[in-house]
Amino acid sequence: MSKLVAFAGIQGGYNIVSKVEGRYKKALESFDATTKVGFPNTAYYLPVIYSLLGIKVETLEDMKKPLEVTRKLLPPHIKGSNHLPYLGPLLDAGMAALFAFEIDEAIRYLEDPDFYHVSEETDIDNGRIWLGAAEDTIFRKRGVEFVDGSAPGFAAIVGAAPNPEIAKMIIEEYQKRSIYVFLAANQNGTTCAEQLIEAGVEIGWNTKIVPFGPDISSAIFALGFANRVAMAFGGVPAGDYKKILLYNKDRVFAFVNALGDVNAEWAAAAAGCVNWGFPTIADTDIPEILPTGICTYEHVLGNIAHEEIVDKSVETRGLKVTISEIDIPCSFGPAYEGERVRGKDLFCQMGGGKTLCTEFLEIADMNAIEDGKVTVVGPDITDIKEGDVLPLGIFMQAAGREFQEDFEPILERQTHHLINYIQGVMHAGQRDIAWVRVSKAAVEKGFTLKDLGVVLHAKLHQDFKAIVDKIQVTLYTKQEDVDKLTAKARAAYVHRDSRVDKMTDEDVETFYSCTLCQSFAPSHVCTVSPERTGLCGAYNWMDCKASYQINPTGPNQPIEKGEVLNAKLGEFKGVNEFVAKASRGAVTKYNFYSMVQDPMTTCGCCEAIAAMLPACNGVMTVNREYTGETPCGMKFTTLAGVMGGGASSPGFVGHSKFNITQRKFILGDGGILRMVWMPKALKEEIRGRFEKRAEEMGHPGLLDKIADETVGLTEEEILPFLQEKGHPALDMEPLVG
């Protein structure tokens, strides 16, 4: 903190207190000491003084005591050398200034009772635009909004913008976020309130744009309003200043915008607001107070461009904006999550083996993205005809003070159910094997791909407001753009998956559930362990742990393993108990490491499905991208249709591609030594990791002994190949006895 900040704020405090002391002395000369004072139609005396000091100021005489407290709060002036510009003395000077402001405004009410228009609305025609302190009827009507969340917070704007157009632009940005705006003070002979009137903007409590007064002292009405909220709705008793200030910091998300040159008195007011946890963000080049401490983040920021001041204010205060309405042409909600878009209803689709469809969320710098920006790069639904297919890349960028790289897959996976919430739109799969189908009915209502971004922006804000401050979505539909995004995404997927490489199921006592897909598969309960990633491939154990930390009541719940009932097959008492409860009794138990005996349930989002091939004494697996026939007699789509409803079907199990090379993959049945067939493209995709795992098991070169579609599509066709290559499965004990 610079010497200049401390000097200006403390000097401003002295100036304000001295001026008010002089005004109080004159008031005593003009009025009897027993003259009643206060703000009209309120029951909180002078609310800042009453709430923080517990002093009821009802008469002129009563002002004497808080004025004495105010004078004692003023710290020594800053010295020219060896100064100690600590934040504490500056905060005391600021608090003194605010106490003095409240007394000053009370004297104004006494001396000029018609100065403020005591109403909820302005009377512009008669020049009555200043509303002063909110009456209790207004306060109770509006204050509750700061408790129930309908009002995220308020911006106390002091001064004036360079012109009415800029003033209007700033205020409209706050209105979009449902943030109240409290106006006070003037700059160069004009005020923000007057600029808004000139720009044709209606002001008053009814529009959430409240012109308190033309002087910096009238900013005290905003703080009085906040403290009344703490007392009336927070139940904080008057005089408990610590609880009052903490309530405001934690519950009333307010901040100050200083527009125009900041003088010493403004500096004192800004310092005073810091006591509430309310930071000041200015458009001029003022000395800043950047370390965090009293405020959630920085205390004072300067030289912020007008185009950025709203976003920077929201970010600095840590204010979480709730988007109550999602502006898309289709109905939206969980009721549509299990809806299917079948062939006769289909207008177009992306992914699902027809094209490449990738979804990827990446952490971004706060200044690098624009919250709410949704862009479609390439053809949209309006540019194609019924029956067409498009490649699709859904690129989401998230930023937030509390956002971490570990949270990327958690938010990315929300794409599945959030898109499914749109009536007439279906989503399956994940990562780079997603599948989006759009119905004719949705297109007739006006649905476009941009609406996907609108939904993702709104719901990720809504569901993850504790960690997300900004979301930007870009949707690519040109093949070259989707290819670039997919390459980038796949590198990120590898990095995410590698985090659990060295962990074992024995290392932990807790696994995690995932029930994101129960809308499509009601009895499905996916359990994720260090050595068994989620069958969708999007979540590993670390991801689920992070998801639970973000949302303790969400779909990823901790499961205590409990007693090991069968170490070879991977059966745990705690897991069985959880699964029975979460599946509502449909499934009472399953094994982690077997596909032959009571395997885990499967949903339609799995990346791959393994099936037993008895004649070869082995198993095969087929990934979603492969569309051909397989030796088990079923394509992937048929397998998914049979398995994907949440059933535990001996001889079949859904899994992720990464899981194939994890150490516990069907280890109870022999592990990858049982793998006798898989699509050629999948073999190449996992070759590096597979060969490493095969070598660990004493069978280097195993991958080249595994048949693929170029060898055959039936057990009879691939068996001679396996015999020729000396596949180990042929010499293992029978898979079924």
In-domain check, residue 322: no
Name which residue leads in pLDDT, 507 or 57.
57
Task: Tell me: do 155 and 261 sit in the same domain.
Answer: yes
In-domain check, residue 391: yes
In-domain check, residue 277: yes
Question: pLDDT class for 34, splitting at 50, 70, 90?
Answer: very high
Question: Does 378 score more than 70 pLDDT?
Answer: yes
Task: Tell me: do 547 and 439 sit in the same domain.
Answer: no
Residue 206: give its domain's CATH number.
Answer: 3.40.50.2030
Question: pLDDT class for 113, splitting at 50, 70, 90?
Answer: very high
Number of domains the chain contains: 4
In this prediction, residues 312-322 reach a mean pLDDT of 83
Task: Tell me: do 371 and 300 sit in the same domain.
Answer: no
Q: Are 525 and 587 in contact (CB under 8 A)?
A: yes
In this prediction, residues 495-518 reach a mean pLDDT of 85
In-domain check, residue 554: yes
Task: Tell me: do 587 and 627 sit in the same domain.
Answer: yes
Tally: H helices and E strands in the chain: 23, 23
In this prediction, residues 336-346 reach a mean pLDDT of 84
Q: Are 562 and 575 in contact (CB under 8 A)?
A: yes
In this prediction, residues 216-221 reach a mean pLDDT of 96
Task: Tell me: do 365 and 293 sit in the same domain.
Answer: no
Question: pLDDT class for 217, splitting at 50, 70, 90?
Answer: very high
**Cα 291 to Cα 558: distance, rounded to the nearest angstrom:** 37
510-514 vs 389-390, strand pairing mode: unpaired
Question: Does 27 score more than 80 pLDDT?
Answer: yes
Task: Tell me: do 492 and 517 sit in the same domain.
Answer: no
In-domain check, residue 324: no
**Cα 249 to Cα 223: distance, rounded to the nearest angstrom:** 12
Reported as a single tens digit per residue, the pLDDT across 662-718 is 999 999 999 999 999 999 999 999 998 999 999 999 999 999 999 999 999 999 999
In-domain check, residue 329: no
Structure confidence at residue 622 (pLDDT): 95
Task: Tell me: do 215 and 342 sit in the same domain.
Answer: no
Question: Does 596 score more than 80 pLDDT?
Answer: yes
Question: pLDDT class for 147, splitting at 50, 70, 90?
Answer: confident
In-domain check, residue 328: no
Reported as a single tens digit per residue, the pLDDT across 411-449 is 998 898 899 999 999 998 888 889 999 999 999 999 999
- Full residue range of the structural domain in which residue 101 is found: 3-111
Structure confidence at residue 711 (pLDDT): 96
**What does the mean pLDDT of the chain come to?**
91
Question: pLDDT class for 263, splitting at 50, 70, 90?
Answer: very high
Structure confidence at residue 334 (pLDDT): 78
Task: Tell me: do 664 and 699 sit in the same domain.
Answer: yes
Q: Which of 474, 499, 524 is the last residue of a domain?
A: 499
Question: Does 542 score more than 90 pLDDT?
Answer: no
Question: pLDDT class for 315, splitting at 50, 70, 90?
Answer: confident
Most confident of 210-214, 490-494, 543-547: 210-214
In-domain check, residue 737: no
Structure confidence at residue 339 (pLDDT): 79
Task: Tell me: do 160 and 249 sit in the same domain.
Answer: yes
Reported as a single tens digit per residue, the pLDDT across 461-471 is 888 888 888 99
Question: Does 81 score more than 60 pLDDT?
Answer: no
Task: Tell me: do 180 and 293 sit in the same domain.
Answer: yes
Task: Tell me: do 516 and 486 sit in the same domain.
Answer: no
Identify which of 159, 142, 138, 160 has the alpha carbon closest to the alpha carbon of residue 151. 142
In this prediction, residues 337-344 reach a mean pLDDT of 82
Question: Does 84 score more than 70 pLDDT?
Answer: no
Residue 384: give its domain's CATH number.
Answer: 3.30.1650.10
Identify which of 703, 731, 733, 708 has the alpha carbon closest to the alpha carbon of residue 718. 708
Q: Are 226 and 252 in contact (CB under 8 A)?
A: yes
Task: Tell me: do 494 and 521 sit in the same domain.
Answer: no
Q: Which of 473, 499, 525 is the last residue of a domain?
A: 499
Residue 642: give its domain's CATH number.
Answer: 3.40.1470.10
